[in-house]
Homo-oligomer: A and B are copies of this chain.
């Protein structure tokens, strides 16, 4: 059986890759309003491919933001139902000058497909469309009931999907939610994520005057918005990277010996990480390994800081305003709203004299955890084993897919996160890519899984 599919996918490989490239060429950046039309175009493209794959009831639902796509194939009476979730929107691309080939001109080099969205998440989502299509073409039926629910707002924290889920609970009901938007641990080392960090984000502005000022005429006598900003932002962490905001760690669980053991099983190579990213040293809270810091500890990151002159040469200006963008990754029972409140209080208390703070809370999502002993997760680990030759480990992922917690709690079904990416595929960064080895094995693993349950 597996051999048949191997031949089928080999035979259609070029055709599949060309299709995926076509999709990747559409710059569906959900965060930037000028790309609204492109996001819609990417949705249409996907709906068309779902129909072509043989799925039924393919529908594009408009929302207050970007569209949601649903489809299904429900002819396996008495068999479980799997809801496949994914997203067709992508991250912004700057700094553009660091891309080796343009982000929306997909390019295959050394067995890797380079493009924004190649791994996060168009490439991984595409595997499910083609796996289902393959089974339908080979068998004229599916061994389980399959539903798709695909959104275009994951990269902006899914503002509109929760309402849709509430309103269509029955239509979307499933025994498991299948998601490929995470990573293997390393080439040949598959993993199923049983935890995702939550998230909250905010923006802040400091203003010190009603106009930019000349540093000759005023320098040394008036506040400088950038001085105020670096002073304020430097108050957020101690030297070891522990967040200094009072109350930030409320709801974080201490790591048990069992959890530390589970993390240790990954045999993560910190030296290799340092080398591959050209890091002088790792960084973070004392007393935790890298995988523990990323998997079980929260973080507060400055994603952008800017103010004053950024052009060529110099400009003797005292900037009137400075800006910062911040996101936090949350774990366990941290309440994203409580974290935002704690940060707001800290920022207000630490804003230097002479500066006026504007604080804007943005996204928020709880962390998510699932019990790996659930049969739907055990079978997924087996499917990896059958295809990769190595059974998947159950891990905790540092990233956030804010909607997973919502999907799982609303539909009361476990989330099965079968990731086919790799940790160094430059998600959210220049030169994002997808290793085609996992493109090939991913198709087979999904077929194997759907047939095993």
A residues sitting closer than 8 Å to B (CB atoms) are 31-33, 91-92, 94-95, 98, 156, 183, 197, 199, 201, 203, 208-224, 226-227, 229-231, 233-234, 237, 239, 241, 277-285, 290, 293-294, 297-299, 301-319, 322-323, 325, 327, 329, 352-356, 362-363, 397-400, 423, 426-431
Shortest Cβ distance from residue A330 to the other chain B in the assembled complex, whole angstroms: 11
Shortest Cβ distance from residue A209 to the other chain B in the assembled complex, whole angstroms: 5
Residue contact B400 to A314, C-beta cutoff 8 Å: no
Chain B residue numbers with a CB within 8 Å of A314 are 31, 156, 201, 203, 303, 325, 327, 362-363
Chain B residue numbers with a CB within 8 Å of A304 are 226, 307-310, 315, 317, 319
Q: Bound complex: CA of A92 vs CA of B197, how far in Å? A: 44
Q: Bound complex: CA of A299 vs CA of B233, how far in Å? A: 22
Contact of A283 among B294, B319, B327, B354 (CB under 8 A): B354
Chain B residue numbers with a CB within 8 Å of A91 are 315
Chain B residue numbers with a CB within 8 Å of A427 are 214, 216-217
Q: Bound complex: CA of A390 vs CA of B325, how far in Å? A: 52
Apart from A302-B319, A303-B316, 13 more pairs, CB < 8 Å: A215-B299, A215-B301, A215-B329, A217-B398, A219-B301, A219-B398, A220-B293, A226-B305, A230-B234, A302-B308, A303-B309, A305-B322, A317-B428
Residue contact B92 to A311, C-beta cutoff 8 Å: yes
Residue contact B325 to A301, C-beta cutoff 8 Å: no
Chain B residue numbers with a CB within 8 Å of A278 are 209-210
Given contacts A32-B312, A226-B302, A314-B31, contact A197 B211 (CB under 8 A): no
Chain B residue numbers with a CB within 8 Å of A354 are 279-283
Chain B residue numbers with a CB within 8 Å of A237 are 227, 231
Shortest Cβ distance from residue A200 to the other chain B in the assembled complex, whole angstroms: 10
10 A-B interface contacts by CB (under 8 A): A31-B311, A31-B312, A94-B309, A213-B429, A216-B329, A221-B398, A227-B233, A231-B234, A280-B353, A314-B327
Shortest Cβ distance from residue A160 to the other chain B in the assembled complex, whole angstroms: 15
Residue contact B279 to A208, C-beta cutoff 8 Å: yes
Residue contact A283 to B353, C-beta cutoff 8 Å: yes
Residue contact B316 to A327, C-beta cutoff 8 Å: yes
Count copies of this chain in the complex.
Answer: 2
Q: Which residue of B lies closest to A95 (CB)?
A: B212
Contact of A211 among B32, B223, B429 (CB under 8 A): B429
Residue contact B315 to A279, C-beta cutoff 8 Å: no
Q: Bound complex: CA of A231 vs CA of B233, how far in Å? A: 8
Shortest Cβ distance from residue A100 to the other chain B in the assembled complex, whole angstroms: 11
Shortest Cβ distance from residue A360 to the other chain B in the assembled complex, whole angstroms: 10
Q: Bound complex: CA of A329 vs CA of B297, how far in Å? A: 44
Shortest Cβ distance from residue A174 to the other chain B in the assembled complex, whole angstroms: 25
Residue contact A217 to B281, C-beta cutoff 8 Å: no
Q: Bound complex: CA of A362 vs CA of B312, how far in Å? A: 12
Residue contact B211 to A398, C-beta cutoff 8 Å: no
Contact of A277 among B92, B211, B282, B312 (CB under 8 A): B211
Q: Lowest 9 CB-CB distances: which A-B pairs, in order? A: A216-B399, A31-B313, A220-B299, A304-B308, A212-B429, A226-B302, A210-B278, A234-B234, A304-B309
Contact of A302 among B227, B277, B297, B397 (CB under 8 A): B227
Residue contact A224 to B313, C-beta cutoff 8 Å: no
Chain B residue numbers with a CB within 8 Å of A325 are 308-310, 314-315
Residue contact B283 to A426, C-beta cutoff 8 Å: no
Shortest Cβ distance from residue A107 to the other chain B in the assembled complex, whole angstroms: 17
Shortest Cβ distance from residue A167 to the other chain B in the assembled complex, whole angstroms: 26
Q: Bound complex: CA of A312 vs CA of B94, how far in Å? A: 12
Q: Bound complex: CA of A216 vs CA of B425, how far in Å? A: 13
Most chain-B Cβ atoms within 10 A of its Cβ — which of A279, A314, A356, A363?
A314
Residue contact A398 to B303, C-beta cutoff 8 Å: no
Shortest Cβ distance from residue A321 to the other chain B in the assembled complex, whole angstroms: 9
Chain B residue numbers with a CB within 8 Å of A201 are 314, 316
